[in-house]
Amino acid sequence: MIKFLLFCILLFFCWPLALIALVAYPIVWLLLIPFRILGIAVGGVLELVGAVIMLPARLIRAI
């Protein structure tokens, strides 16, 4: 809702910039998809490395 209100304010004060933003937003969103996928993959790898490092401590604690 806040994004919509900010867009309306931008549309009121500077409509050409608002129209450019309206066209550019989906393009930028599509360009950023690979970086989001990369971030998810890196997060998963870091979680896996952390789990492998903590495995001996969990095994000792379970005994």
pLDDT digits (tens, 9 = 90+) for 13-57: 998 999 998 999 999 999 999 999 999 999 999 999 999 999 998
Stated as kind and residue range, the H or E segment containing 47 is helix 15-62
Q: Check: CB of residue 39 under 8 Å from CB of residue 32.
A: no
pTM of the model: 0.61
Estimate to the nearest angstrom the gap between the alpha carbon of 6 and the chain centroid.
Answer: 21
Q: What is each CA distance from 54 to 25, 31, 43, 59, 63, in whole angstroms? A: 42, 36, 16, 9, 15
Q: What confidence score (pLDDT) does residue 57 get?
A: 87
What residues contact residue 11 under an 8 Å CB cut-off, 6+ apart? Answer: 18
Q: Give the pLDDT band of residue 63 (cuts 50, 70, 90).
A: confident
Q: What confidence score (pLDDT) does residue 62 get?
A: 83
Q: What confidence score (pLDDT) does residue 59 get?
A: 86
